[in-house]
């Protein structure tokens, strides 16, 4: 009797494992291996966005060493994530997707924001206006590297 119970338990486990495998493979079928790898490596950050005018605040060259136009699609990354403010960060030149208020924009990290906290970004006015009115001054955001 115990032997029969053991066999039934093993068969039940096998059936459940097979069903689980089929469900996950159906869900994954629509994504390539590369897409699954990229998604698993992405981190989403949360913070606040402010805006700055490069020519008036910090000069025309960003911390990453590249020229900054006032209407460029660039951001200044917060100090904790940027790292050593006296050198070029590993974030320099990286593209990010910023989301707020159901809207999304793409930008490039080109500068550092010394007073910003982890997750925060300082955007050029043209970027900020795509997410909210400049009069708001500060908005909640989420962002990820793309």
CATH number for the domain that contains residue 48: 2.40.40.10
C-alpha 142/C-alpha 76 separation (Å) is 15
**Do 66 and 102 share a domain, yes or no?**
yes
pLDDT at 42: 77
**Do 28 and 47 share a domain, yes or no?**
no
**Do 96 and 126 share a domain, yes or no?**
yes
How many structural domains is the chain composed of?
Answer: 2
pLDDT at 62: 83
pLDDT at 120: 98
**Do 61 and 121 share a domain, yes or no?**
yes
**Do 121 and 95 share a domain, yes or no?**
yes
Question: Is residue 146 within 8 Å of residue 105, measured between CB atoms?
Answer: no
This prediction has a pTM of 0.70
pLDDT at 86: 87
Write out the chain's pLDDT in tens, 146 residues.
554 444 544 444 445 444 444 444 444 445 455 554 545 467 999 999 999 998 887 666 788 987 788 899 999 999 999 999 889 999 999 999 999 999 999 999 999 999 999 999 999 999 999 999 999 999 999 999 99
pLDDT at 32: 57
**Do 31 and 58 share a domain, yes or no?**
no
**Do 31 and 67 share a domain, yes or no?**
no
**Do 24 and 83 share a domain, yes or no?**
no
CA dist 71 to 53, 54, 125, 133, 144, Å?
Answer: 8, 9, 7, 15, 22
State which residues form the domain around 29.
Answer: 2-36
Which candidate, 111, 110, 104, 113, places its Cα nearest to that of 141? Answer: 104
**Do 24 and 94 share a domain, yes or no?**
no
**Do 32 and 47 share a domain, yes or no?**
no
**Do 68 and 32 share a domain, yes or no?**
no
- 74-78 and 121-123: which strand pairing? antiparallel
DSSP per position, 104-121: EEEEEEEEEETTPPTT-E
**Do 51 and 99 share a domain, yes or no?**
yes
pLDDT at 34: 55
């Amino acid at each position: 009797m115990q032997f029969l119970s053991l066999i039934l338990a093993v068969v039940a486990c096998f059936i459940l494992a097979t069903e689980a495998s089929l469900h996950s493979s159906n869900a994954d079928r629509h994504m390539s291996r590369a897409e699954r790898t990229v998604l698993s490596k992405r981190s989403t950050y949360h913070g606040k966005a402010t805006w700055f005018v490069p020519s008036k605040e910090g000069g025309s060259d960003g911390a990453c060493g590249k020229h900054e136009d006032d209407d460029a699609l660039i951001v200044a990354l917060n100090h904790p994530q940027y790292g050593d403010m006296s050198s070029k960060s590993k974030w320099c030149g990286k593209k990010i997707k910023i989301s707020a208020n159901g809207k999304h924009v793409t930008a490039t990290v080109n500068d550092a924001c010394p007073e910003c906290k982890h997750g925060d970004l300082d955007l050029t006015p043209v970027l900020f206006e795509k997410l909210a009115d400049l009069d708001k001054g500060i908005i909640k955001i989420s962002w990820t590297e793309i």
